Homo-oligomer: A and B are copies of this chain.
Amino acid sequence: MSKEMLINQNEYLEVGIHIGTKVKTPGMKRFIYKVREDGLYLLDLPTIDKRLRVAARMMARYNPKDIVVTASRIYSVAAVAKFAEITGIKVLTGRVMPGIFTNPNREDFIEPELVFISDNRNEKQAVKEASKTNVPVIALCDTDNWIKFVDLIIPCNNKGRRSLSLIYYLLAREFLKEKGLIKSDDEFNYKVSDFEAKVEMKAK
């Protein structure tokens, strides 16, 4: 039985989607398949691929306006902004305020049905809020992330620019396919680079 990945394996490896950090939390141990000579823990690629699919499938079950995606670092903010533009999913960037999902008196109060976290180290508050309201939490988790309150973990490099671009590119594409908005990968008119933070001036 051949099992195809969402994208050619080399493209995954090239952006280092499987390259973790030098820190391993107990919860992330199960997704680590080895430690590299330089001390970096490596994540299991088939699991990354499968979880990205499962996450996209689950998200596609919801109305995009009922999903909130959080991002707090420059590379994830850029990738998530593109992802949101394409899918219609809501974005929360920067500091999430206590009460945003739990206090109806707040002006910024929202009631998501599903929360998707880019990095729970910086987006802890959103995880807590979701957990208080029993909203399912999907999260990108690197080898050093603590996974308390995360319901569905997508093990991956959630720090690198190219890794994050590829992750949100694939999630957007699969989301549209699962929703039936596009029929095949060919109809997805975006490039991975559209999801990248522009960090340098381009020579013209």
Contacts and interface: CB of A to CB of B under 8 A. Distances in A.
A30 B134 contact: no
Interface string A20-56: 0000001101100000000000000000001101100
A131 interface: yes
Interface residues of A, number: 23
A151 B51 contact: yes
Interface in A128-158: 131-132, 134, 136, 147, 151-152
A58 interface: yes
Interface string A44-81: 00000011011001100110000000000000000000
B136 A58 contact: yes
Given A1-B132, A3-B132, A30 B147 contact: yes
Interface string A175-199: 0000000000000000000000000
A114 B119 CA distance: 27
A9 interface: no
Given A1-B102, A152-B152, 17 more contacts: A1-B132, A3-B132, A26-B29, A26-B30, A27-B30, A30-B147, A50-B131, A50-B134, A51-B151, A53-B134, A54-B134, A54-B136, A57-B113, A57-B134, A58-B58, A58-B61, A151-B152
Q: Which 9 A-B pairs have the closest CB atoms?
A: A61-B61, A53-B134, A54-B136, A27-B30, A54-B151, A50-B134, A152-B152, A151-B152, A57-B136
